[in-house]
Each structure stands twice: as structure tokens, then as C-alpha cells.
Amino acid sequence: MAEERLQKFLAQAGISSRRQAENLIRAGRVKVNGRVVCEIGIKIDPVRDKVSLDNQEITTVAEKVYIMLNKPPRVITSLRDPAGRKKVTDLLTGVEARVYPVGRLDYLTEGLLLLTNDGELAYRLTHPRYEVDKTYVALVKGNMGEKALEKLRGGIWLDDGPTRPALVQILARGKGWTRLEITIHEGRNRQVRRMCEAVGHPVLSLKRVRYGPLRLGKLAPGSYRHLEPGELRALKEACRLD
């Protein structure tokens, strides 16, 4: 078997995405043949070399698993939490495979979250290069006017740089609030919340309802299901994965 990069091997083994695997390597948690490796880009032979994470040997994944979860608020997407808060993986009763979230939803955000052990798919879905759309329904404070809408649609300058233009439409208005639908294809930390706050309309509640071709539909909060074959094909097509 041909050699491959260590972070790709970790992703294919269902440990994490390739980006997260690089962080594990930098943190000194990965060993190859008993030796700690901190160098990004090192290549290994998956057949001959022994790879371990936190001193536990890793083998490649035989079967890929793809799950859609309706994440409730006040559940974290991290796989470990020193504070002992509920994790999204705690909701996957009956799932024996080790899966990890594709991207993140913050603690208070709810809605569609993908979990998988397919590292290559996770990498592409979260990389801005592949421009996979993510759609949210946000309830924001105040009556959002046309000026704020145009700012969101044109791109907002945040503390980590300008955002790409977003697709935004008003769904409803009430006394002191606006409900809007916003579509982005970046994945920055708390991006939608920061964008809305930057135009003077802090988010009161936030829910992701679509990820690429996948729609949350009527999946109940806290529930999950495995993707249908057609959904998986459409998802791979969205990020140009053969």
C-alpha cells in the first residue's frame, strides 16, 4: 500500500477531520511506531506502521457512517468537555461507530448537524474552497431594515476579516424582533451571530435548517437518523467528491 499523510490516515480512521487531526499531531498526542510525531505532513505506511492516539492504537475504518442530528440548544459539539456538559455524541444511543461532528454549532445554536467517520467528506464540507452552503433561521432583536440587510448581503467586516456575501431574506417581523433566513458557505466561529450583531441586531435564537442539499425537515430535537443513499450522493456531489 502507498504511503499517505498522517493526518489523512487519522481522518480515514474516523478520529477527526483532517484539520482537527493536525491539531492532535501538533499537541503531541499522536505516536508512530512508539515515537511522538509533531510534524505536519509526515507520511506513513498504513500497513506496516503502528499509529496511536493517546497511547491507543488506531486502525482504519471498515464501514463509513453518516448521521444527521437535530442538535438541541445547550449541547456541545466537542467530543470532550471538562465541565461535564452534555455532548452531541451522548444523543447517539445505539451508534457503535466512533463518529465526530462536521464543523460546529455553538452551545446555544440548534439544528442540523452532520456526524461521520468519513474524514475526506468532512474535510471538504468544512473547507471554504468547496463553498457548501449552510442555511440558518435567526430570530434577531429589533426591526431589521434594508440598510442592515444590504450590509449582510454585501459582506461584513469582522475581527477576523471580511465575510463573503450572504443570501438573506426576511421571514417575519414582530414588535421588537425580526426572523430572517441567512445562507453562508464559510464556517467561522459563531459567524452568523457575529454578523447580525455587527449590524446592530443581536441574535435571540439560531437554528441551522439546511446543509448543502440536506434539509432538517421534521426531525425532532435531540433525534438523529442515518443518511439515505440519495442524500449521501447529493452531499458528495455538493463538495465535488467522487
Q: Which residues contact 89 (CB under 8 A, 6 or more apart)?
A: 79, 99, 100, 115
> Which pairs from 165-169 meet CB under 8 Å and 24+ separation?
166/195
Q: How much helix, strand and coil, in percent to the nearest 5, is found in the chain?
A: 25, 30, 45
- Does 133-211 match 66-128+219-238 at the fold level? yes
Q: Which three cell numbers stand for residue 120?
A: 475526506
- Residue 3 — pLDDT band, cuts 50, 70, 90? confident
Whether residue 61 is predicted with pLDDT greater than 80 in this model: the reply is no
> What is the Cα 144 distance to its own chain's centre?
28
Whether residue 84 is predicted with pLDDT greater than 70 in this model: the reply is yes
pLDDT (0 to 100) of residue 2: 67
The closest alpha carbon to 99, from 76, 127, 77, belongs to 77
Other residues' Cβ atoms within 10 Å of the Cβ of residue 170: 14
Query: Residue 56, class by beta-carbon neighbours within 10 Å (0-12 exposed, 13-18 middle, 19+ buried)?
Result: exposed
Rg (CA), the chain: 19
Average pLDDT of every residue of the chain: 90
Q: Which residues contact 27 (CB under 8 A, 6 or more apart)?
A: none
Q: What is the average pLDDT across 32-58?
A: 86
Q: Which of 106, 118, 133, 242 is catalytic?
A: 106
90 is catalytic: no
pLDDT (0 to 100) of residue 96: 84
Domain boundaries, the chain: 4-57, 66-128+219-238, 133-211
pLDDT (0 to 100) of residue 13: 78
| Paired residues of 180 in beta bridges | 138, 170
Fold classification of 133-211 (topology level): Alpha-Beta Plaits (3.30.70)
4-57 homologous superfamily: RNA-binding S4 domain (3.10.290.10)
pLDDT (0 to 100) of residue 231: 96
pLDDT (0 to 100) of residue 226: 97
pLDDT (0 to 100) of residue 62: 61
Q: What is the CATH number of domain 66-128+219-238?
A: 3.30.70.580
pLDDT (0 to 100) of residue 69: 97
Q: What is the pLDDT of residues 89-115, one digit of tens each?
A: 999 998 888 888 998 899 999 999 999
pLDDT (0 to 100) of residue 179: 98
The closest alpha carbon to 25, from 46, 10, 3, 4, belongs to 10
Q: What is the average pLDDT across 55-75?
A: 87
What percent of the chain clears pLDDT 90, i.e. is strictly above it? 59
